[in-house]
Structure 1
């Protein structure tokens, strides 16, 4: 039996819609211009509630990563690597990494269907 996708909320729907289009979209604060990831109702930097989604380039560098050896999420069979990525656009984002990685390693976003979730951003070594 197919597992239903998580239902996007009004707060997260633009993020998931962008993923389905193969785009990475992050909230950007209209007040301080900081990027916000994961989606929030208010900017964690200045408290402004004017947060619009903006498509960003998915190129950046690995800030830190870990290899997960225990199953926490259906559809993600261990071992798998997750990382915080410092995007060239000025945001720090979280996601899965495909292939070998290292701190400081250059990566580029790609989208991969994950059972039960749909397309999710992953980072692969930038060639």
Structure 2
């Protein structure tokens, strides 16, 4: 549960967990809704009784785009929306597969990788794919 008066905000808690190698999302103790992006109150019922749980990490690509960049600027990269099995949608990227092979409906699994800023981030890999 988030301490609204003295504790760090939910975004800071999420980032600290990722830095420890732990991927968790919130779950409401009032209505049972899964929540992502981290919040202070449940967007479904308004309860502040939010806890952290480890999701299955399994999801499905909802949509993807490819950002085109010159090779000297790092080359192309993908941006995806992934629907986790828990029902929340995350923006991330898929590693371990060519950008053009990423399609809506692709089954993926979450992992902790490195974001563009060098900080830990949730990334996805194709299910059954090795990285």
Give TM-score, length-normalised by structure 1. Answer: 0.76
Mark the structure with the bigger radius of gyration: 2
For residues 1-127 of structure 1, what are the structure 2 equivalents within 5 Å?
10-69=9-68, 77=74, 79-98=76-95, 99=97, 100-114=101-115, 116-127=117-128
Answer 1 or 2: higher relative contact order, Cα 8 Å, separation at least 6: 1
SS of the residue aligned with 1:41? coil
The CA deviation string for residues 16-58 of structure 1, in whole angstroms up to 9 with x for no partner, is 1221233321111111111111112221111112111111121
**Alpha-carbon distance in structure 2 between the residues aligned to 1:34 and 1:93:** 15
Cα drift, residue 106 of structure 1? 0.5
Cα drift, residue 116 of structure 1? 3.1
The CA deviation string for residues 48-72 of structure 1, in whole angstroms up to 9 with x for no partner, is 12111111121111111222236xx
What do you get for the CA RMSD once the two structures are aligned? 2.3
**Higher strand content, 1 or 2:** 1
CA distance change for structure 1 residues 117 and 53 in 2, over 3 Å: closer, same or farther? farther
Cα drift, residue 126 of structure 1? 0.7
**Higher helix content, 1 or 2:** 2
Tell me how many residue pairs correspond in the alignment: 115
Runs of 4+ displaced beyond 4 Å: none
Question: Unpaired runs of 5+ in structure 2?
Answer: 1-7
